[in-house]
Amino acid sequence: MAYDYDLVVIGSGPAGQRAAIQAAKIGKRVMLVERQDVVGGVCINTGTIPSKTLREAVLHLSGHRERGIYGASYQVKQNITIEDLHFRTAHVIRHEIDVTRHQLQRNRIEVAVGNAAFADAHTVRIEDVPGRNIRNVTAEFVVIASGTQATRDGSIPFDGQRIMISDDVMTMKKLPRTLTVIGAGVIGIEYATIFAVLGVRVTLVDKRDRLLPFIDREITDALAYQMHEHRVTLRLGEEVKGIEPFADERGERVRVTLVSGKQIVSESALYSIGRTGATAKLDLKAAGVEADERGRLKVNEHYQTNQPHIYAVGDVIGFPSLASTSMEQGRRAACHAFNVTAESVPSLFPYGIYTIPEISTVGRTEEELTHDGIPYEIGKASYREIARGQIIGDNAGLLKLIFHLDTRELLGVHIIGEGASELIHIGQAVLAHKGTIDYFVNTVFNYPTLAECYKTAAFDGINRLG
């Protein structure tokens, strides 16, 4: 056997886990290298799971879901503290780490804790402690799933409390009364809406002139409206010139200066200008692999780098940087490496964005279809028209179908509202089978459910055809 392992995976986040488990399922010798003492990567420990659990705790304790019924003043708990939010988050993190560790154990995947770096194209050097306990392992194939880290500007005096990155949210000591969020990407906009529901006065700054440009515009316009309802100030088309802490008779605060001359003063600032690939310490040159200026790796349709036996998956390869897509990338990379047939349709990967209200989308947007000259029509259903929407108190939700004008084939589904990320999978299944909106007309949905929105939207679309 020419190599110590058939596959070495660097990183134990969703992409790395799935690559390792897929290879182990077909009998391959697999090692997974993780630099932290706990498995799960950013997803479980500081990113996806903590932020979504925080969101759920906020929705429950603030009483937000019931305010449509009981009024704007309704709250489950008065004076919500950061400790209240951390309690639920810590519980879920512990559980997910244990589940992940058990999955790796029962698939007999060897887990090595340490910093990984390439010694050559087929050799990975593992340092348990920097400079000591060095171990070299060889592998026929390597999957880089090292993830990303929050991008920092060296001129900004980050302290983890007043001036933070997204990772610092989980170690906040108290909730600010006012917050400036710099960067309206997925992470920034999620945290902006979460804090706003808690009653924090939030200002969101981004140099782009619209929110989430890869999402259907009608949906993002609806999100912007809901954010305004929660007193979020949007400063779009504005660029940040400087961020500085200061103190006065009112205490310690942060001043954000914009290029336009405006100044925003708040108790805290969250800097969320994208993420950088965690590749700086991998010594990629030793393997003949290069990263771009933001540490990301370029791959082909099989997730191979310029070295065919070295794959890269997950956030380290860039957009869409979602846990769900990363899992599938890891699985497909392992399948390709070991000649196992695996099929998926990246164009039908759903996006789930956990703002308040949440957004989920799959397929084409109106802007894309217009650009490509494809004739289409739309059908919409508002939650307030659906009995289930009234029951749960969501009067602002919206489900939108886009279908071909001539064939009536479903082309896209876009949802904003409670349960959007669950509801989207019905439309995803119809898209995968190239179904038409007539499927929704002829299908009986449970009553009362939000799924009925599909039927209502289909009828609305057919009525628009005249």
Residue 44 is predicted with a pLDDT of 84
Which residues constitute the domain of residue 268?
163-273
Q: How many of the other CB atoms lie within 10 Å of CB of 169?
A: 23
Residue 154 is predicted with a pLDDT of 86
pLDDT at 212 over 80: yes
Spacing of C-alpha 428 from chain mean position:
18
Q: How confident is the model at residue 457 (pLDDT cuts 50, 70, 90)?
A: very high
pLDDT at 226 over 90: yes
User: What does the pLDDT average to over 39-61?
Assistant: 89
Assigned domain for 323 exists? yes
Residue 148 is predicted with a pLDDT of 93
Both tokens of 29, joined, read 């010798």
Same structural domain, 185 and 314: no
Handedness of CA 66, 67, 70, 73 (dihedral sign): positive
Most confident option among 5-19, 149-163, 332-346: 5-19
Same structural domain, 146 and 242: no
Residue 354 is predicted with a pLDDT of 96
- What is the layout of strands, in order, in the sheet containing 201-206? 163-164, 268-271, 178-182, 201-206, 233-236
Please, which residues bridge with residue 265 across strands?
Answer: 255
pLDDT at 22 over 70: yes
Assigned domain for 156 exists? no
Assigned domain for 351 exists? no
Same structural domain, 428 and 373: yes
pLDDT at 1 over 80: no
Assigned domain for 387 exists? yes
Closest CA to 450 of 368, 394, 377: 394
Q: How confident is the model at residue 31 (pLDDT cuts 50, 70, 90)?
A: very high
pLDDT digits (tens, 9 = 90+) for 109-118: 999 999 999 9
Same structural domain, 29 and 56: yes
Residue 129 is predicted with a pLDDT of 66
Q: How confident is the model at residue 159 (pLDDT cuts 50, 70, 90)?
A: very high
Residue 445 is predicted with a pLDDT of 97
pLDDT at 132 over 70: no
265 φ/ψ angles, rounded to the nearest 5 degrees: -110, 130
Assigned domain for 380 exists? yes
Same structural domain, 246 and 382: no
What distance in Å separates the CA atoms of residue 343 and residue 309, rounded to the nearest whole number?
20
Residue 449 is predicted with a pLDDT of 97
What distance in Å separates the CA atoms of residue 55 and residue 63, rounded to the nearest whole number?
12
Number of domains into which the chain is organized: 3
pLDDT at 240 over 80: yes
Average pLDDT of the chain, as a whole number:
94
Same structural domain, 240 and 317: no
User: What does the pLDDT average to over 89-95?
Assistant: 91
Query: Between these two residues, 275 and 181, which has the higher pLDDT value?
Result: 181
User: What does the pLDDT average to over 368-397?
Assistant: 95
Same structural domain, 36 and 126: yes
Q: How confident is the model at residue 130 (pLDDT cuts 50, 70, 90)?
A: low
What distance in Å separates the CA atoms of residue 326 and residue 396, rounded to the nearest whole number?
31
pLDDT at 427 over 90: yes
Same structural domain, 10 and 144: yes
- DSSP secondary-structure letter at 405? T
User: What does the pLDDT average to over 251-259?
Assistant: 95
Same structural domain, 341 and 441: no
What distance in Å separates the CA atoms of residue 52 and residue 319, rounded to the nearest whole number?
20
Q: What is the CATH number of the domain that holds 370?
A: 3.30.390.30
Assigned domain for 394 exists? yes
- Final residue in a domain of this structure, among 346, 379, 403: 346
Same structural domain, 18 and 144: yes
Same structural domain, 261 and 284: no
Same structural domain, 370 and 458: yes
What distance in Å separates the CA atoms of residue 59 and residue 75, rounded to the nearest whole number?
10
User: What does the pLDDT average to over 210-221?
Assistant: 95
Both tokens of 59, joined, read 């929705």
Assigned domain for 192 exists? yes
Give the number of residues written for the chain.
466
- Final residue in a domain of this structure, among 273, 296, 315: 273
Q: What is the CATH number of the domain that holds 280?
A: 3.50.50.60
What distance in Å separates the CA atoms of residue 177 and residue 180, rounded to the nearest whole number?
11
According to DSSP H, which parts of 316-451 are helical?
A: 323-337, 366-372, 387-392, 420-432, 438-442
Assigned domain for 403 exists? yes
Residue 309 is predicted with a pLDDT of 97
Closest CA to 32 of 98, 100, 111: 111
User: What does the pLDDT average to over 359-379?
Assistant: 97
Residue 229 is predicted with a pLDDT of 94
- Final residue in a domain of this structure, among 256, 273, 290: 273
- DSSP secondary-structure letter at 318? -
Residue 48 is predicted with a pLDDT of 87
Residue 134 is predicted with a pLDDT of 80
pLDDT at 343 over 90: no
